[in-house]
């Protein structure tokens, strides 16, 4: 009875079940990545905004993406 509720072939219940499976790990990775980004951003802020290496906004965005990706790897258990 319960298996038919989740996998009925109707798109909406399947979508809701899929969102409940896949959304929480990404949300947790986003939150953990934000915390990692805040710590790393605080440590390299002066160097990053000096413009010595790259454009500060692009460097900041790439640092955030790397933090979220590494947080997702930590959650999954690959690191």
Residue 6: C-alpha distances to residues 22, 23, 24, 25, 47 (Å): 15, 16, 18, 20, 51
- For the entire predicted model, the pTM comes to 0.66
Residue 22: C-alpha distances to residues 25, 48, 55 (Å): 6, 34, 34
At 10 the three-state DSSP class reads: coil
**pLDDT digits 0-9 by tens, 1-18:** 455 555 555 666 666 666
**pLDDT digits 0-9 by tens, 18-43:** 666 666 777 888 989 999 999 999 99
């Amino acid at each position: 009875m319960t298996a038919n509720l989740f996998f009925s072939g109707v798109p909406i219940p399947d979508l809701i079940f899929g969102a409940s499976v896949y959304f929480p790990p990404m949300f947790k990775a986003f939150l953990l990545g934000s915390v990692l980004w805040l710590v790393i951003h605080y440590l390299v802020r002066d160097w990053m905004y000096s413009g010595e290496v790259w454009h500060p906004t692009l460097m900041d965005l790439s640092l955030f993406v790397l933090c979220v990706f590494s947080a997702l790897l930590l959650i999954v258990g690959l690191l």
